Amino acid sequence: MDTNISYDFTISNLGVCTIPSPINVSFFTPESKRILFNIYLDQYNDLRAPNGLPLSIEVAGPREKIFFDPSKTKAAIVTCGGLCPGINDVIRTIVMELHHRYGVPNIIGIRYGFQGLIPKFRHPIVELTPDYVKEINRIGGSILSSSRGRQDIGEMINALERMNINLLFCVGGDGTMRATECITAEITRRGLNIGVIGIPKTIDNDLNLIQKTFGFDTAISESVKAIQCAHVEARGAPNGIGLVKIMGRQSGHIAAGAALAQNDVNFVLIPEVPFHLDGDKGFLKAVELRLRERSHCVILVAEGAGQEHLLREGQPMETDASGNPRLLDIGVFLKASMEEYFKKIDMEVNLKYIDPSYMIRSVPANASDSMYCGALGQYAVHAGMAGKTGMLVGLMNDEYVHIPLKLIRSGNRVDPGGNIWMRVLEATGQPPSMMNE
């Protein structure tokens, strides 16, 4: 936790809430209910709000009074960025909560991400009714589809005005949340009463401040299946090697979690921990020693690992339409490097390479993620109907809270000196000496 960052957890409101909530619950969440941001005693005095009080965050939940009149409210949902298990669960919950609990009659889906708000793309909108979404949680992907890339903020706000949108729910990752922040700022500048609520989505689980993003649990479960197959293949031939590449551009959380969930992995390579490739302390030598000792080996590599071995000196890293690094293929590189290495030392190996990335992100959410997505969707609706804006709903310290969009960035990494990586090293037995210091 960086004590040098200025944290401001103030949540913006469109106005005073005067309408009694129509939902039937046993209790409402008061505005005054907050949780402490910092739970570590050694940092307690360093993290204070401007008024000198300990930093705290607003707790999510239904409010007794709401801002929007449900019968006159029109809501829109948009999904952006890469696909991820659970998107349809979020869409379904938002629609069901708005329609059945608040009585909002008009809910639309924006097709193909923010492109759907730009007239030149001519993407049709979708009328989202309970009947339309009732079984979408059983399929993967997004029924609204998605896209990457920046769009003109002014044009998007014009579209929201033309369609008389009161509430916009944006499902996406770091880039989407930055765009959503810009949309909120332009809405505020124009003095419009349009609420904007974010639902954080990144399968890599790499957003700062957020305890867990949806799709992560499913990704680990599906990765474990690939590891099991790699292990069977590795044990099925002399000096068998099972190499599995999974998602993780800048964060190795999926790789670390999958390795701990399926204790058959011998090497885990992640973006946060550079590694030596050659030499007596390098990765290739370590694999050789493992094979000579046990005759088989399973390797799990995150897609963002080892990029330093693929880029030529001085070669810049390209980016995609969303500004994400355009990675070179570490899986193919490691496969070729190992085949070349063992050929040189005249050692027979049987290497099987498995890349299940698109299969993992395209499956439906498992039960754990479905339950999590349901909570995120419900709390997002409660916040939106209460006139909250420029914020997202997230899990922090086991509580669902409201966090300003301006504070959310991609920055949650596996700490090479932390407990998770220590447990990975213990579980795999891979030599720390092959890691660059």
Annotated catalytic residues are 204
CB neighbours (10 Å) of residue 318?
A: 10
Note the maximum CA span of the chain: 79
- Rounded distance between C-alpha atoms, residue 431 and residue 273, angstroms: 13
Q: Is 296 exposed, middle or buried (0-12, 13-18, 19+ CB in 10 A)?
A: buried
Vertex 211 angle, CA 54 and 153, to 5°? 90
Amino acid at 186: E
What the block records as the tokens of 30 is 């008061």
- Rounded distance between C-alpha atoms, residue 377 and residue 324, angstroms: 26
With beta carbons less than 8 A apart as the criterion, state whether 244 and 226 touch. Answer: yes
- Rounded distance between C-alpha atoms, residue 210 and residue 67, angstroms: 27
- Compute φ and ψ for 412, nearest 5 degrees: -85, 105
With a CB cutoff of 8 Å and minimum separation 6, the contacts of 41 are: none
